[in-house]
């Protein structure tokens, strides 16, 4: 790197970390409840975030306890959301034995443990590896979990997509030995192994990427993984029932810092068509261009979307061609047209069935109303289905025999778990981030507020005769956009205490950004603010026009006057 570049503090931490090792081994056994600032940053690359239970903070302070109660989130990387019943059962055991008794399916097809204590951190990560999964690369400035349509449809198309997701995940996984040394060995105190050769990380180098990097694979008629929100997206191009290549999209990203005007959400750009044999080498060239030219001075400007905005798509594509060593062809005309939420019963095409179960905000738990965790245990032990996690935080049970369909439903009902057929489309298509109490960035509630918001919205939709409408609603506790709120029909983004910025005008297909309908809307006024817009949509919509398309056609000025006048 040039001596003239003033690295951000995180870059300096990575540069001196000896490939993500830093002081983690020593601090892991130092008797403290948390880690030092440098280790907190490095730990993200190992798949864990240091957090705090913010609900209990005020009570602890009132009792004179000024110490922070450190807890950890541990995220499992699961390419394409594909795992076995045995692996899910093991994750459920972990959440009971080492976590806060809940497990969470993420919006990127992974699983998260919450409330893990530092003393249990090594055991948690080791046991995840024991079931042939990993946390390495689930977080941090590397390629994150590779997303892919999880549908277990028999036939070559989905098999090829899921095979490619696994290949990309393996190819872009960090190679550092520090992960194994710290988490998977029996060494109790850490004597650092000095590693200085950049060949250790042939793609990333010793400072890794300037910021996180996300990849996803989709089909034109099923953009269930939101391909336009990724740093690198691959849209399968199908001719005569065969995948002939992929339209490669670059530069998507959802994160925003409202106080910093130079930050913004962006949808990916259509860059080039690549043949199947070219995918990995062209993807590697894209990653390396971001590695070498991405902003390492300002993390707010470090995502790939800002590099492309600065250079322009043509210049970026030319640099990728320079790295890969040959010219790239233009994208095929194919683009996203629809989304499948994969809920309810679906034939797989091989004589077996798949059932998509809607999981509210991805939270898997038992309580007085519903015993979802126990239901999953019973289903996995008795029926042993394949498990697929969706980008909507829900679960698919794959490879169910015809004779077992009624038994699966019986097990769900016995544990008071609502069937997906009982939910309105708006609930099936909803997303919410974790937010309070564990995410340190959250300003407002999200996961815990979303069920009530959806109930109110369902009541309003039913009152207006719109209950069958396919409307995507996504809520986040802050503007970072982890639940992808900026390209859906209705986005609710935490802005101040118990107040949200209300976005409309995106759409279910995910290929258009939304706009602000109203800022700083109190939580209890969200649905009342939307009600007149929904009423006008019902009376003025064109034949077959969706809510998002209607809001986009009518425009911000007209709808803002309606709800803000």
Would you name the residues annotated as active-site residues?
75, 144, 212, 214, 433, 439, 478, 482
The answer to whether residues 268 and 227 touch, using CB atoms and an 8 Å cutoff, is yes
In the sheet where 353-357 sits, what is the strand order?
82-83, 386-389, 395-400, 353-357, 344-347
The answer to whether residues 238 and 246 touch, using CB atoms and an 8 Å cutoff, is no
The answer to whether residues 499 and 521 touch, using CB atoms and an 8 Å cutoff, is yes
**Distance from the Cα of residue 157 to its chain's centroid:** 23
Helix/strand/coil (H/E/C) assignment for every residue in 456-508: HHHHHHHHCCCCCCCCCEEEECCCCCCCCCCCCCEEEEEEECCEEEEEECCCC
Peptide bond into 437 cis (omega under 30): yes
What Å distances lie between residue 297 and 1, 30, 47, 266, CA to CA? 11, 32, 24, 21
List, in sequence order, every residue forming a beta bridge with 73; answer none if it has no partner.
49
β-strand pairing of 111-116 with 386-389: unpaired
- 39 CB-contact burial (10 Å; exposed 0-12 / middle 13-18 / buried 19+): buried
CA distance 55 to 58: 7
245: helix, coil or strand? strand
365: helix, coil or strand? coil
List, in sequence order, every residue forming a beta bridge with 50; answer none if it has no partner.
72
The answer to whether residues 457 and 236 touch, using CB atoms and an 8 Å cutoff, is no
Which is it for the CA torsion 47, 182, 20, 40, positive or negative?
positive
């Amino acid at each position: 790197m040039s001596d003239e570049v003033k690295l951000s503090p995180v870059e300096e931490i990575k540069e001196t970390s000896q490939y993500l090792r830093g002081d983690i081994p020593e601090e892991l056994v130092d008797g403290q409840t948390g880690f030092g600032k440098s280790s907190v940053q490095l730990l993200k690359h190992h798949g864990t975030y240091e957090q705090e239970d913010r609900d209990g903070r005020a009570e602890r302070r009132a009792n004179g306890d000024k110490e922070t109660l450190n807890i950890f989130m541990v995220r499992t990387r699961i390419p394409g959301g594909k795992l076995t019943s045995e692996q899910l059962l093991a994750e459920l055991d972990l959440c009971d034995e080492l976590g806060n008794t809940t497990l969470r399916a993420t919006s990127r097809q992974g699983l998260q443990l919450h409330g893990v204590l530092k003393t249990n951190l090594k055991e948690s990560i080791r046991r995840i590896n024991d079931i042939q999964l990993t946390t390495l690369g689930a977080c941090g400035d590397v390629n994150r979990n590779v997303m892919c349509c999880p549908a277990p449809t028999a036939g070559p198309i989905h098999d090829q997509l899921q095979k490619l997701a696994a290949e990309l995940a393996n190819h872009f996984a960090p190679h550092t030995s520090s992960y194994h040394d710290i988490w998977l060995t029996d060494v109790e105190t850490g004597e650092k192994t000095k590693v200085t050769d950049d060949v250790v990380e042939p793609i990333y180098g010793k400072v890794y990427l300037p910021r996180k990097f996300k990849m996803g694979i989709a089909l034109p008629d099923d953009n269930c993984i939101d391909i336009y929100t990724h740093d690198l997206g691959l849209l399968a191009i199908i001719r005569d029932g065969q995948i002939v290549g992929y339209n490669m999209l670059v530069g998507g990203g959802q994160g925003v810092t409202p106080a910093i005007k130079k930050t913004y959400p962006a949808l990916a750009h259509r860059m080039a068509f690549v043949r199947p044999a070219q995918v990995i080498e062209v993807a590697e060239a894209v990653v390396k261009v971001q590695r070498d030219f991405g902003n390492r001075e300002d993390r707010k400007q470090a995502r790939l979307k800002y590099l492309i905005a600065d250079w322009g798509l043509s210049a970026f594509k030319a640099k990728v061609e320079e790295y890969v060593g040959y010219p790239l062809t233009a994208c095929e005309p194919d683009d996203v047209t629809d989304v499948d939420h994969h809920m309810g019963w679906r034939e797989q095409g091989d004589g077996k069935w798949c059932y998509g179960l809607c999981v509210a905000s991805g939270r898997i738990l038992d309580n007085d109303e519903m015993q979802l965790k126990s239901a999953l245990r019973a289903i996995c032990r008795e029926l042993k289905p394949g498990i697929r996690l969706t980008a909507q935080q829900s679960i698919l049970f794959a490879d169910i025999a015809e004779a077992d369909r009624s038994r699966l439903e019986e097990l769900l009902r016995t544990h008071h778990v609502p069937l997906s057929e009982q939910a309105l489309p708006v609930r099936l298509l909803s997303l919410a981030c974790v937010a309070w109490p564990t995410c340190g960035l959250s300003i407002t509630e999200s996961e815990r507020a979303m069920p009530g918001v959806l109930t109110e919205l369902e009541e309003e939709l039913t009152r207006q005769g719109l209950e069958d409408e396919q409307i995507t609603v996504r809520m986040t506790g802050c503007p970072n956009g982890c639940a992808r709120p900026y390209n859906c029909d209705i986005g609710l983004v935490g802005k101040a205490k118990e107040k949200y910025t209300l976005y409309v005008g995106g759409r279910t297909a995910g290929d258009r950004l939304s706009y602000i309908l109203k800022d700083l809307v109190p939580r209890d006024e969200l649905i009342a603010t939307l009600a007149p817009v929904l009423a006008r949509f019902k009376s003025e919509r064109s034949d077959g026009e969706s809510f998002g398309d209607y809001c986009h056609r009518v425009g911000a000025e007209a709808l803002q006057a309606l709800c803000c006048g």
